[in-house]
Amino acid sequence: MLALSFLRVNHPFFPDLHTELASSHQTELYAAVPPTCLPIVYSPAYNITFLGLEKLHPFDAGKWGKVIHFLKEEQFITDENIVVAREASEEDLLVVHTKSYLSRLKWSMVVATITEIPPLVFLPNFLVQRKVLRPLRTQTGGTIMAGKLAIDRGWAINVGGGFHHCSSDKGGGFCAYADITLAIKFLFERVEGVCKATIIDLDAHQGNGHERDFLYDRRVYIMDVYNRHIYPGDGFAKKAIERKVELEWGTEDSEYLEKVELHCEGALNEIRPDIIVYNAGTDILDGDPLGGLAISPQGIMKRDEIVFMAARRRGIPILMVTSGGYQKKTARIIADSILNLQRQHLIGEEALEEAGQSSVPVIMSKFM
């Protein structure tokens, strides 16, 4: 019986409810976090560095570490006051992924296709697992951890994650694990009072992974703003989007920010979720070879401010993941935006105090 008690965060008023979910597995991702830590999740294991292979992908595969470096330089964080991400285990991944999908990742060729790093084909799979998939699994664990932290603290940021092209049985576009779907399903299964989620996906690409996963799930409301002319153009997945904003090539700040604000407010007025998952891709940046939009660094900071403001003003917990963003200057912009959120008192210790007084449900973490 004690083992079963690990399964669910107990509700103080309904202590027996946790026994409903006897099938949930034991996870390390919902372990207690010291109150002295900011809900910012990261691990040095996020970064992919291997024989220069990372240079073959138009992706700054070390951007996550650089964001942390800049945040430390500005004395917003230290190694001691952030939360260290843990790798998602196979059992954790099976909450969403099929066994056959996870088995397919044991073929280097499959991983080469998903990550768009063709030379991986020639590597033995144990190296692919260790050097590419483990970093992605750690980022995935980070998103799941940040989901619970967002509920407990009112906000949380995973400095990585946001693999929005991956669904339960299919990866693609660098996304091997469906971290957004996982974070939401973990909350639904394990945290009392969380039964509605809104995904605000503002990466330049359509988030077809979580859209396919939640296509027939009425608990999840999806807003997606993306360049209509680029990958993945997944018409089937589009049916899952309640608020679809398709942009043209070269969309600039004023039009973009106006649409983001209008639809953020509209989405949250339509349905009040228990959690917002904000996919904050920075490949909307002007000059991005894949995103095809023309948003300035200031525009990205303003965008993040708009989303956090909409969430915080309503007292809705928000989880941010950093998703796509492929230029060398991206890390600096992400760090600047996080610092701006702090300056605006939308995150940081003051935000923590406010969250304590908001309508965030009080969860008693008896065993976790």
φ, ψ at 158 (rounded to 5°): -95, 120
x/- map, 241-260, Zn ion, by CB under 5 A = --------------------
Residue 209 lies near Zn ion (rule: CB under 5 A): no
x/- map, 305-324, Zn ion, by CB under 5 A = -------------------x
Which position among 135, 171, 281, 299 is part of the footprint of Zn ion (CB under 5 A)? 281
* Distance in angstroms (rounded) separating the CA atoms of residues 59 and 188: 33
Identify which range of 196-204, 297-305, 332-340, 359-367 contacts Zn ion by CB under 5 A.
196-204
Residues 6+ apart with CB under 8 A from 313: none
Of the two residues 108 and 208, which places its CB atom closer to Zn ion in the complex? 208
* Distance in angstroms (rounded) separating the CA atoms of residues 108 and 110: 5
Smallest gap from residue 33 Cβ to Zn ion (A)? 29
Stated length of the chain? 368
Residue 304 lies near Zn ion (rule: CB under 5 A): no
Residue 203 lies near Zn ion (rule: CB under 5 A): yes
Of the two residues 152 and 288, which places its CB atom closer to Zn ion in the complex? 288
Residue 92 lies near Zn ion (rule: CB under 5 A): no
Of the two residues 203 and 224, which places its CB atom closer to Zn ion in the complex? 203
x/- map, 107-146, Zn ion, by CB under 5 A = ----------------------------------------
Query: Contacts for 349-356 with beta carbons within 8 Å, 24 or more apart?
Result: 349/38, 351/154, 351/155, 351/312, 352/153, 352/154, 354/154, 354/312, 355/153, 355/154, 355/155, 355/315, 355/317, 356/154
Residue-wise DSSP of 259-279 = HHHHHHHHHHHH---SEEEEE
Q: What is the largest CA-CA distance in the chain?
A: 58
The catalytically annotated residue of 165, 205, 210, 263 is: 165
Token pair 């920010």 is found at 257
Residue 205 lies near Zn ion (rule: CB under 5 A): yes
Identify which range of 7-15, 264-272, 283-291, 303-311 contacts Zn ion by CB under 5 A.
283-291
Q: At residue 88, what is the residue type? A: A
Of the two residues 198 and 227, which places its CB atom closer to Zn ion in the complex? 227
Of the two residues 148 and 205, which places its CB atom closer to Zn ion in the complex? 205
Residue 60 lies near Zn ion (rule: CB under 5 A): no
Smallest gap from residue 62 Cβ to Zn ion (A)? 18
Strands in 33-177 per DSSP E: 40-42, 83-84, 155-158
* Distance in angstroms (rounded) separating the CA atoms of residues 272 and 257: 22
Q: Which of residues 322-341 bind Zn ion (CB under 5 A)?
A: 324
DSSP structural state of residue 20: G
**Kind and range of the H or E element at 92?**
helix 90-93
Smallest gap from residue 206 Cβ to Zn ion (A)? 9
**Kind and range of the H or E element at 187?**
helix 179-190
Identify which range of 198-206, 241-249, 266-274, 302-310 contacts Zn ion by CB under 5 A.
198-206
Smallest gap from residue 293 Cβ to Zn ion (A)? 10
Which position among 92, 213, 283, 305 is part of the footprint of Zn ion (CB under 5 A)? 283
Of the two residues 25 and 244, which places its CB atom closer to Zn ion in the complex? 244
Of the two residues 124 and 287, which places its CB atom closer to Zn ion in the complex? 287
Pairing relation of β-strands 155-158 and 275-279? unpaired
* Structure tokens given for 333: 């912009």
Smallest gap from residue 116 Cβ to Zn ion (A)? 12
DSSP structural state of residue 244: E
Active site residue 205: no
Residues in contact with Zn ion by the rule CB under 5 A: 203-205, 281, 283, 324
Q: Which residues are identified as catalytic?
A: 165
